Structure 1
Amino acid sequence: MKVLHITPHLGGGVGKAHAAIQGATDPTVERAYYLLEEPRDRRYADLIEQAGGRLHHAGQGVSLAELIEDADIVQIEWWNHPRLYHLLATTALPPMRSLFWAHVSGLFAPYIPTGLVAAAGRFLFTSPCSLQAPEIEALSDTVRARLGVVGSSFGFEYGRTADEMPAGGASSAVAYLGTVDFVKMHPAFFDIIDAVDNADIRVSVWGGFDAEGEPARRARSMRHPERVRLEGQTADPRAALQAAGIFVYPLREDHYGTAENALIEAMSLGLVPVVLANPAERAIVTDGVNGVVAADPDDMAGRLGRLLAEPEERVRLSAAARTTARDRYQPRRSAGLLEEHYRALVGEPKMRIDFAGVLGSKPVDWFLSMQQRDRESGGGRMFAAGGALSKGSIDHFLATFPDDPALLALSAR
């Protein structure tokens, strides 16, 4: 079976997921990847090639139409990337058996166009929380029968000697690893740490940050600034997490994440997750079973303090967190689920999809299609920042289509 993946790139979480899945793929499945951007960081691209995947990118002049015609399944890695919209809406693509794998939740902006979900041969999400979106719940039974969930985040594996085993819940050290920006991190992050009733709490915050940005300023203005250390970006997240026992992970309630790589990696090392009751996190962490799910920032501060004072509870939750990661978040499991969808889809005829009719024909249509619910409610986070080229932001679209008059007019509002 030949599967062609169309993806904007193979960086970040998408590249990491496919490097793992390629290594766990059944030998009867041949995977090729068509990248819309030439790889800048080849780390995951190289791993995919070493595991047998074939890589092409748009700049090589390879015929995408021929690759599609040769493929049994065309898997489109979906998120709100302007180049992906452009390819689908402006290119005369041949008929295909299409499978979309969404790497955003769709619960908040960026939304997933429901017309795209209905038009796809199969549409897969990376978390069951996406099935709770009102637009998805309102789809017909026929369309919902073509939906599925395949996880894209996987835990670390570790050895069995004493030196190789992570500290897990035995340690009272606290860590955060992820986006150090309030576009995803909860704006009360530093207030939570300040409010914990334990003078000995120390939190290592891993992730790139702007020394003059808002999170760094908030850290400096804490009542107890000694409690937080901004460590910066790490090339070795496993080593960054290895000595900690608690993973504090408060995200804003309308964040766009879904699979939450850092959370699952931390759990695989036995760190006890402490999260807020957002849909994506609740799909991974069960309160009192394999971690702590707090109702709000005040509740998180109180429960984090109690967890620090209860080493036996930390050890119990640590073991359950590690078991969850081991049993539910493995590349071979996701590879197997994908292959089940391939086998079901390969018996169906190839279909031509009118992507322009589904997504719109112009960049402003594509941008607004993923902001629709926010637009109807008066704007919301339509132009959310988080860095000039934050995923699918107005700045990202303008960087791709710098002379588009409708986008320029929209950004000037």
Structure 2
Amino acid sequence: VGTVLRALVSASCSEGRFNHRLLCLDRLNPPMAQWAERQQIEARGDLWHDLQELKNNLARADVVHLHWWHHPLLNALMSRTDLPAFRCLLWSHVNGHHAPQNFPLSLAAYPDIMVLSTPWSLQAPALAHENIENQDLRIRIIQSSAGAPRVPIRRKKEHQRFQVGYVGTVAYEKMHPEFLRLCAAADLPETSFIVCGGPDHEQLRQEAASQGLGPVFDIRGPVENAAAVFSSIDVLGYPLNPQHYGTGEQVLLEAMAAGAVPVVLDNGCERHLVENGKTGIVCASVDEYIQALRLLHSDRALLRRLSLNARKSAPQRYPLYALVSAWHRLYNESLGMTPRRRWLQTTAMVPGIQAGGPVSPLLNALEGTAAADLFRGALLSEPKKGAERLKTLSPAWFSATRGSPFHYRQFFPEDAQLASLCAMLREVSVLTRQGVSV
């Protein structure tokens, strides 16, 4: 239950027009349970192991607001054909462009209305190239945002060092694989690079030390008070992996609210959030990114102008009340729809691959991507040949979570084909020196 969802549910409940009940397939961790209790919101966790209770809740809900990303339990649930009839609004929290967080080909047909968190998702392969019936009515856009918080504004003293910060997911499936090199190549005198977030902060710290960059980087790991970091930095250096899965990038909004100037790459999501030359700098290449850091370091008048613009723009562009109002309109609209039974359409299974097992939702979710063919081929090959097939996979596939085979195996540890895929990926990690975080 992330920042945006908590903000939406809390604000919606405070208006008193809708009651919310949180249903989690996985465990509900203690901080979220405590938050729900404070908000007086009913919350249930670990419902994958109590499917009858889950079905009862689906049947009695007026509207099911489904928060989607490629999660093993969610895809397994949506593949079931024995769920009761219900109304469904699906809000995607990934942009849908790249596996494993791509949109499955049949995803848009599952809900009554599919809601995208960024306009960039309209160009995702599963939506851009498919003839979706009544697409203008079936697909909507509500930008993901928890609003711009009140963040203390940086009061920089002349003797303070120039500070570039990165706050967010520290893992190469999200941040740019050459993150350290891009920062170091800017070669900025009297500058600190602050990195906050996890889960791979220790790995990044070791890489920085091995490259002799330890004194340049202040790698802090996860922090509780991100606002204090935003208020201490001059620039949010936020170069993301071109194949990242993000959408609203709440980090950008919060940094701009504090007056930190964002410097980003020209990825689909970021270009919709940062106005190039007005509230930050959008770079067409990594070389431009390096030059942008140098420019802001040397031209403090430009830095101050962009900082002021960013600070003014952040609260105006995506206020929380607009998010809540948009969802309330959709809730009311959906009440006029007829509840129906639904399931994700499955593709034809390949001989030699277990039908109906946990690997089926994984392959079905990846249908239409190169990864689906790679995994099928690997499962039908000898282990060494299978591992060789998988050498072209991106860092996202070596994550412990985010829809990777390792993620699926956490929930289905007895499945032999998932075990085989994970073993082959471990072999690839040795051959290519990818980091396997499990």
TM-score range, shorter chain: 0.7 to 0.9
Matches of 1:143 and 1:82 in 2, distance apart? 27
The gaps in structure 1 that reach 5 residues or longer are 1-9
Q: Is the 8 A contact 1:107 1:256 kept in 2?
A: yes
Deviation at 1:258, TM superposition (A): 1.6
Q: CA 1:111 to 1:353, structure 2 compared with 1: closer, same or farther past 3 Å?
A: same
Q: CA 1:358 to 1:40, structure 2 compared with 1: closer, same or farther past 3 Å?
A: farther
Alignment equivalent of 1:390, drawn from 386, 398, 401? 401
Aligned to 1:150: 142
Helix, strand or coil for the counterpart of 1:275?
strand
Worse-matched range after superposition: 126-135 or 349-358: 349-358
Aligned to 1:369: 364
Matches of 2:155 and 2:142 in 1, distance apart? 30
Deviation at 1:270, TM superposition (A): 1.6
Indicate yes or no: 2:122 matched with 1:134.
no
Indicate yes or no: 2:23 matched with 1:34.
yes
Aligned to 2:417: 406
Matches of 1:247 and 1:342 in 2, distance apart? 36
Aligned to 1:269: 258
Helix, strand or coil for the counterpart of 1:100?
strand
Partner AA of 2:359 in structure 1? V
Question: Deviation string for 1:329-366 (max 9, x for gaps)?
Answer: 33222111111111222111111113364898432121
Aligned to 2:3: 16
Matches of 2:168 and 2:86 in 1, distance apart? 37
* TM-score after normalising by structure 2: 0.82
Matches of 1:336 and 1:169 in 2, distance apart? 41
- Written as runs of structure 1 = structure 2, the 5 A alignment for 1:121-200 is 121-138=112-129, 139-140=131-132, 142-158=134-150, 164-167=152-155, 172-200=162-190
Indicate yes or no: 2:291 matched with 1:302.
yes
Indicate yes or no: 2:109 matched with 1:118.
yes
Deviation at 1:310, TM superposition (A): 1.5
Helix, strand or coil for the counterpart of 2:287?
helix
Aligned to 2:41: 53
Helix, strand or coil for the counterpart of 1:337?
helix
The gaps in structure 2 that reach 5 residues or longer are 349-354, 375-389, 425-438
Matches of 1:393 and 1:257 in 2, distance apart? 16
Q: Is the 8 A contact 1:169 1:311 kept in 2?
A: no
Q: CA 1:211 to 1:272, structure 2 compared with 1: closer, same or farther past 3 Å?
A: closer
Matches of 1:90 and 1:76 in 2, distance apart? 15
Partner AA of 1:107 in structure 2? H
Deviation at 1:245, TM superposition (A): 1.7
Worse-matched range after superposition: 145-154 or 20-29: 145-154
Q: CA 1:167 to 1:131, structure 2 compared with 1: closer, same or farther past 3 Å?
A: farther
Q: Is the 8 A contact 1:188 1:297 kept in 2?
A: no
Partner AA of 1:154 in structure 2? A
Q: Is the 8 A contact 1:274 1:292 kept in 2?
A: yes
RMSD (Å), alpha carbons: 2.7
Deviation at 1:176, TM superposition (A): 0.8
Q: Is the 8 A contact 1:270 1:321 kept in 2?
A: yes
Deviation at 1:396, TM superposition (A): 0.9
- Written as runs of structure 1 = structure 2, the 5 A alignment for 1:282-297 is 282-297=271-286
Matches of 1:321 and 1:266 in 2, distance apart? 9
Question: Deviation string for 1:19-68 (max 9, x for gaps)?
Answer: 211222131111111111222242x4433443342212345957223322
Q: CA 1:361 to 1:149, structure 2 compared with 1: closer, same or farther past 3 Å?
A: farther
